[in-house]
Structures are given as structure tokens and as C-alpha cells.
Structure 1
């Protein structure tokens, strides 16, 4: 793709995202605002817009997909307005704007820019060729996707790996189970080892969790779950492979395996280096409306923008076409997370009030009688909500419920933070709507002729296969 074409694409994307950015700058939530609210006096009805926003994300794409596609921005704006306008009236516009700019500049914009960079780079990596989906090969493909998910993100790994996996199994009579385990491992569990892997973990990084904390503290749980699921998959796939006898002709011509877009791997290294350096350097900073901006963080965000331009410039159009690349998913994420960050304001304030707030019953559920954290409850409550609501805001809610102090959670509260992180990432696999890549993989597989189970059919698989594994995780790691 020529540089001029890259500029045109990014310019069009910028124009479409500009209203979202302006909305965030004027109406995004923040810890400062949440802390200034008297959570003990806030009634639980203030949490209804947050619940409504998450339920809209969960229900509309399945119940009314065409309506959601055309009106998701309006629905998100409606829920956001139900929080922004009352807060501006109640607490005054100037303090509200100052606090909201704080989160816009320190949390939302870095969050979206990282997703944009990962999305663009992964969209330029194409695996071509045709393999034959034997149980051994399928297990290796799933293991590879699980490994790279923490490097290029669960969305990126899903985009890169799903089409080669489908091509390898397009002559199999039974192949839906391959996609189901793909969602388990590549679209969810594999992203648990770095902030690049899944959006909840990057939110934790922005809140002060060290980049490699999840690598060291979730490695045992992740490998435990991955090995069990890969072994289960191999047994199921071997049984079905022998039963069907491969009677279908292979519709995909044999071609040697090859990877296009190699320069995007180098750009992935640039992303990782920029994030690591931003956590190590101290270049000073300056104030914007009461918000202190660190120069190293601004440099990191500028690198993300540069990576997007560079990836578009070096990626041929045919590679993007082969991956079905478009800006639609990225724009959707930007809109929806704008509303999520806005509507979560009163929820964070109520949680900050602890036992004095309207959610005292939830606080008690995750607290033992002696006042210590109930880590199994943190794992399961975070996980079950992440199964049906977006796992990033769910992580944020329970992160705050556990105190919101990253330094404390990484040390004295390490098991609690691990339980929250594992619950959010692992159990996003429990339904098609638990994590963004799930439904994308489901749609691609259906379009490729795979007889995928419906919403409740998929949950039957997760109930039989995943929930017992998560029960083992609880007994081994969090009890």
C-alpha cells in the first residue's frame, strides 16, 4: 500500500473517531471524580446506566444485530448522557470537566491507541497455505495461537490464526469443536500473560500494575488450564477424526505454508519496547487542566500512532483483504468504551464507599469474616460477570473493589489481583459475548460453513468443559 493510501485511510479513521475523542475529553470518567463523590450517599439507581450499557453490548448483537449495527453509537450516547448531564448539574461543570480530562488523557486515549496499534499490526499478518487438520496438527495450531495471544492480543491472534485453522479442517465432517476450543484458548485464555494480551490487563497496567506482573503471577494458572484444555481437545479430536474417516474431499488446494507481513512483527516489537520504556523512563511532565502528563507516556502514545501509519504503509492491500481487515471493529470499540468509562463513575464511587455503600452485599461476598479478601469469590464473581458482560469494565470494578492500589495488590494482595485477572480473562470464554474476539470467530466460522452451536449450545460446551477446569483452578491456586 502506498504511503498516500495509508494517510487517506488513517485520515478517514481520524474523522470518524474525532467525535468520540471530543466526547471523551468532555465527558469521560475518572478516579478523581469518582473519589470526590460521596459513595455512601449515592443510591444504587445511579448504576443503572452502567448496567444498561453492558446489557446492551451483551444482548443487542445477538437479539437485534442489524439494529445494533446501525444504532450502537446512539445507544451508547444515550446511556452516557444519563450520567454526564446529572453529574454536571449536581457537581458543577468545571470540576467535572477537570476530572474527566484526567481520565481521558491518562487512561482512555492510551487504552484506545494500544488497541488501535495491535489491531492494525495484527491485520497485516497473514498465514497462507493449506494444512490437513489431523489431531496432532490441530493441537499444535491451538497451542501456537495460545502462545502468541499474549504478544499480539487475543483479537490479533484470533484474526491471524482462525482462517488457517478453518482451512486445515474444511474437509472434516466434524469441525465445530475445533472452533469452540479455539475460542477457549486463542481468543481468551492465551491472552492472560501480558497487558498486550487482553484489554482488562492493559487497564491494570494503566492503573500501575507492572508489565511483567501478570507474566509471572498468572503463568502457573494459565499453563495449568491450557494443558488441560489442549489434552481434552486432543482426545475429542482424535475420537472424531477416527470416527469420521475423512470422507469429504478437501475443498482447499494444497499450497505451501507461508506468512506475509513480516515487517509487522518488527512493529509489534516496537509496541512492546515503547510500553516497557514508558514504565522505566522519567522525562518529566507538565499540567493540563490539573492533570499531570508524563512526557514518556506521551512519547509512548505517539509511537502507537506512528506504528499504525507504518503498518498501513508497508502492508499490501491483498494482505488486508485476505484477513478481511476493516476499521469497523475498532470504531465500535472506541464508541462503546467511551460510554463504559462514563457510566462507570457512580459504580466506582459506590464501591469506594465499601460497607457504607449500596453495594455492601457485594463487598461482603468478597470479604471473609476476619476482613481478608475472599479470593475464590473474587475469581468467580469477576469471571461470571465477565462471561456475559465486557470483561474489561468488570475487571476494573473488582480491581477497585479490592482497594484499587496497584502497589498493594501486586504485593500483599497478589493472590487477589491474580484471582481478578484470571477470572476476567479466563471466563470471558464462557459465552459468545464474554470477550470481543469470541463473536468475531463465531461469525467467521459460520460464514465459512461451520455448523457452529447457538448461544446456549455453546454454553453447554463451556458448562461441561470449562467450569470444571475453573473449579480445579480455584482449588489449586485460590483456596
Structure 2
């Protein structure tokens, strides 16, 4: 795919949109039964089971299968509520959620793939811990996606000679792609939504630092023990690298472009000039500008980064295309599930919502932590955060003061437990795709969940007992 293909794809996406406004009323989640969640469950099971049971079919046709599950939701929806309503709902999801999401992901994927760490880097336990710790720290500065895209390829190269390395990529997702993003609104989309709702920029830094440090230190310690055990069994495989070459970064222009992306994200929170209308849907002008800037950043990165550097970095388009196709279907099929949750006590999830409050209506922080976390493990963690933020009252001033423990529980649940499955947070699947694209093995969907069950769930139980 050439650099010119990026804006061409964006133009094509706009060209296929309906030519008339989707004058459709939004369907309330209170009107929907749990059966509307069946296509989403089918989508999850396809991602989980088909690579194991029908790998050849899945790898060649996952796009068609994903589109099939989306159609299985949209067509009955059109019959039940009318074609205009169905078209309006899909366009709403695409414009408000998917296009900004994939544009940001594209910018970070392309710029991260244009930074090359050269020099002698051997994946010893200490080197690997240092790389994971570095990624965990910078994830709150440049986002979990940016940090993941920047460091996953150096980690792959450092460990290329090793036979036992799956645990490294799993803990990379735990730490860099999730836990590390908990200290600022730049770190993870749920916290950014809180920032847009009025939560002060450094509130998460001061109120989630203890939880972040606790999880990061324990996970890094557990990883180090595992890696030392694996290293002891394969020392003979260490390659002879000859004279050590000092570490240096190439493609520094991409670090500046990542800075542009970070600044644009901040601008979207501080500058809100009003809404514009596109085919019957309204979107903030700042969000539309963000999409343009993110696509432009990707284009500039492709033009300014030497092809040889990207080749040396193992850059390819397969991972981003896979994420784009799968998450398009995920966003569409999970929309009724989120709508039901947003309906609160008026929706089909009322028994679940009722668990968040005590007998006198007081919030129960540890329940918020586990409910927001459990749902963030399989739904998009950003809207899930927003559901529970509003369920807790939605007043940022109250939640930052008297309700601080509840807001911390919601924030930690959404950010931390996004690590429980490949689809809990976008960088998870991106890292998986890049690792597999480089010829390395990753656990299956359920295999990864088993890793989370062993290492993350006990950790989150400790977090509950100590903090919530």
C-alpha cells in the first residue's frame, strides 16, 4: 500500500456514504431486549473459535464473516424499526465512533512503524523488563496505542532469537497496552472521555497513581520471574552479535508527528467551536478536524520516512487492515448492548445496574470497579466508562471530591480490565496482529483470557481489597 492510498481510502469511505440525510430518531436502549446482543456474541465467538476450528477459512475470509455478523444485526433492525432508522444508527456509529477511532489508530500505527531503534538489543530478562517498564511509563504520555506501536517492534527484534517468548508479548499487552495508560487522559480513551466531561487533567495522575504503581510493580515482578525461568532454559541460543552497536533512534520525524497527534487530542478537549452536520448526523468540528489531522499525519509519515527504514522495522499493512475490518463489525454489533446499558434501570440490564448501589442509594465502589471492568473486557472500554460515569451521577465536581473513590473505581476498572481479552482495548488486538504478522505465535482468544485469569484476576482482587 502506497502513501497515496491513505487519503484515497478516506475519500472512498466518504464516497460510499448515503447521499441523503439519515433523518432517523435514535432508538432508546429501553426498547431493546437482550436478544439484540446475539450478533455481538456471535462476533466474539467467531474471533475466539474460528482461528482454532477453521483457521484457513478465518484468515482468508474474516472480513466477510465480520460483515455477516454486522448484517445480521442491521437487517433485522431495519425490519423492526425501519430502514431509515437503521441507516441512521449505522451512520451515527461510523461518524461518531468508528471513523475518529480508526483515524487515530492509523496515525499512531504509521508513525510508530516509522521509528526504528537500532543497535545491539538482546532480549535478556533485564532488557525485557526495562523495555516493558519504559512502555508502561510513556503510555500515559503518548497513549497506550502510541506506546504499543512504538515499542512492540523493538521487543520483537530483541527477542527474535528466543524460543520461549510468548509470555513477553502477553505481559506487553498487560502493561504497555493497558495498565500504563492510567495516569493521564492521554493514556487511554476512557480517561479522555472523563476529561471531556469535566474531570481535571491531573486528577487521574494524583488519584490513580497508587493503583497504577501497585499493578505495574507486581506485573513486572511476575514477568521477570517468568522470563528468568525461560531464559535459564535457552541460554545456549544467544546469538553471537560481535561488537556491540550503541542504541540509536532513526526516523525521528515520526516522534515529532506523534507529538502532533498528542497535541491534536488535547486540542479536541480544549477547543469546541460547535457542531457540523454530515448526512443528517452532527459531529463536533474539533473531532472532524482531528480525523483530517490524523489522516494527514499518516500521509506525511509515509512520505517522509524512507522505505528502507520501514522494511528494516518489519512494517506492513496487514495488522491495521485486520483491526479496521474486525472493529468495524465490533462497533456496529456492540451498539445495542451499550444502548441497553445506557438505559440503566429502564433497560434489560436493570438487575445488573441495581448492583451498583447500596440499600440507601449510596454507590458501592468495588462493584463499580468490577462491573465497569468486566464489561470493558469485552465491550469498548471508552463508552463503558461513560455508562458508569453517568450511572454514578455524571457530575465531575462531585465525582472528583465526595465521589472520588467511585470515580477511581470506574477509571481503574475501564483501563485495567481492558487487558482481560484481546478486544478489551484496541492496542491489544493490534499488538497480537503485529506479532503474528512477524511470524511469532500468540495465544488463542481463550488462551489469552487464561493468561489474564491467572495473572490479572488475582491482581484485581488484591486491588479491590486494598483500594476499593
Q: TM-score, normalised by structure 2?
A: 0.82
- Give the structure 2 partner of residue 307 of structure 1: 297
Give the whole-Å Cα distance in 1 for the aligned partners of 2:272 and 2:313: 39
* Equivalent residue number for residue 3 of structure 2: 6
2:242 pairs with 1:247: no
Q: 1:248 to 1:44 in 2, by over 3 A?
A: closer
Residue 211 of structure 2 corresponds to residue 221 of structure 1: yes
Displacement of 1:262 in angstroms is: 0.4
Once the two structures are superposed, what CA deviation does each residue of 1:2-60 show, in whole Å capped at 9, x if it has no partner?
Answer: xxx522x32554477568x73899899x9x714xx3x4443321222232233333333
Q: Any residues of structure 2 matched to 1:293-442 within 5 Å, and which?
A: 293-387=283-377, 389=378, 391-392=379-380, 394-397=381-384, 399-403=386-390, 407-408=394-395, 411-412=398-399, 414-431=404-421, 434-438=424-428, 441=431
Give the 3-state SS of the residue equivalent to 1:403 in structure 2: helix
Tell me, in whole angstroms, the C-alpha distance in 1 between the residues paired with 2:441 and 2:269. Answer: 46
TM-superposed deviation, 1:469: 1.7
Unaligned residue ranges in structure 1 (runs of 5+):
none
Q: Would the alpha carbon gap of residues 111 and 162 (structure 1) be closer, same or farther in structure 2, given more than 3 Å must change? A: closer
Q: 2:17 aligns with which of 14, 19, 22?
A: 22
Q: Deviations over 1:445-466 (max 9, x none)?
A: 6787878766666555544432
Aligned residue number for residue 115 of structure 2: 125
Q: Contact 2:385 / 2:410 at 8 angstroms: preserved in 1?
A: yes
Shift of 1:434: 4.6
Displacement, 1:430?
3.5
Contact 2:196 2:269 in 1 (8 A): no
Q: Per-residue deviation at 1:142?
A: 1.4
- 1:80 pairs with 2:75: no
Shift of 1:314: 1.0
Partner in structure 1 of residue 26 of structure 2: 33
| Change in CA separation of 1:170 and 1:68 when aligned onto 2, cut-off 3 Å | closer
Taking the aligned partners of 1:457 and 1:88, their CA distance within structure 2 comes to 37
Note if contact 1:125-1:262 (Cα within 8 Å) is conserved in structure 2.
yes
Q: Is the 8 A contact 1:410 1:417 kept in 2?
A: no
Deviation at 1:207, TM superposition (A): 6.9
Picking from 154, 178, 195, the partner of 1:164 is: 154
Matched position secondary structure for 1:111: helix
Give me the whole-angstrom Cα distance separating, in 2, the residues matched to 1:76 and 1:262.
37
1:278 aligns with 2:268: yes
Q: Does 2:49 match 1:59?
A: yes
Unpaired runs of 5+ residues, structure 2, are none
Cα separation, partners in 2 of 1:278 and 1:60, compared to 1, 3 Å: same
Alpha-carbon contact 1:174-1:240 (below 8 Å) kept: yes
SS of match in other structure, 1:259: strand
Question: Residue 127 of structure 1: SS of its match in structure 2?
Answer: strand
> SS of the counterpart of 1:67?
helix
Per-residue Cα deviation, 1:88-130 (whole angstroms, up to 9, x for no partner): 3444444555565455433332222211211111111111222
Contact 1:60 1:68 in 2 (8 A): yes
Residues paired across the two proteins, number: 464
| Aligned residue in 2 for 1:192 | 182
Structure 1 residues 313, 464: closer, same or farther in 2, change over 3 A? Answer: same
CA distance in 2: counterparts of 1:455 and 1:337, whole angstroms:
15
User: Residue 344 of structure 1 aligns to a residue in which SS?
Assistant: helix
Q: What is the alpha-carbon distance in structure 2 between the residues aligned to residue 69 and residue 245 of structure 1?
A: 32
Deviation at 1:275, TM superposition (A): 1.9
CA RMSD after TM alignment: 3.9
Asked if the contact 2:197/2:396 (under 8 Å) is kept, the reply is no
- Contact 1:120/1:312, CA 8 A, preserved across alignment: yes
Deviation at 1:216, TM superposition (A): 4.5
**Aligned CA distance change for structure 1 residues 298 and 250 (closer, same or farther; 3 Å):** same
State the Cα distance separating 1:249 from its structure 2 match: 3.8
Q: Hey, what's the Cα distance between the residues in 1 that align with 2:316 and 2:161?
A: 29
**Residues 1:208 and 1:77: Cα distance change in structure 2 (over 3 Å):** farther
Pair 410,226 (structure 1): closer, same or farther in 2 beyond 3 Å: farther
Hey, what's the Cα distance between the residues in 1 that align with 2:277 and 2:34? 35
Q: Is the 8 A contact 1:27 1:100 kept in 2?
A: no
Counterparts of 1:458 and 1:287, CA distance in 2: 42
Match of 1:150 in 2: 140
List per-residue Cα deviations over 1:224-276 (Å, max 9, x = no partner): 211222233344545665x4583334155543322111011111111121222
Aligned to 1:181: 171
349 and 175 in structure 1: CA distance in 2 versus 1, 3 angstrom threshold: closer
Aligned partner of residue 117 in structure 2, secondary structure: strand
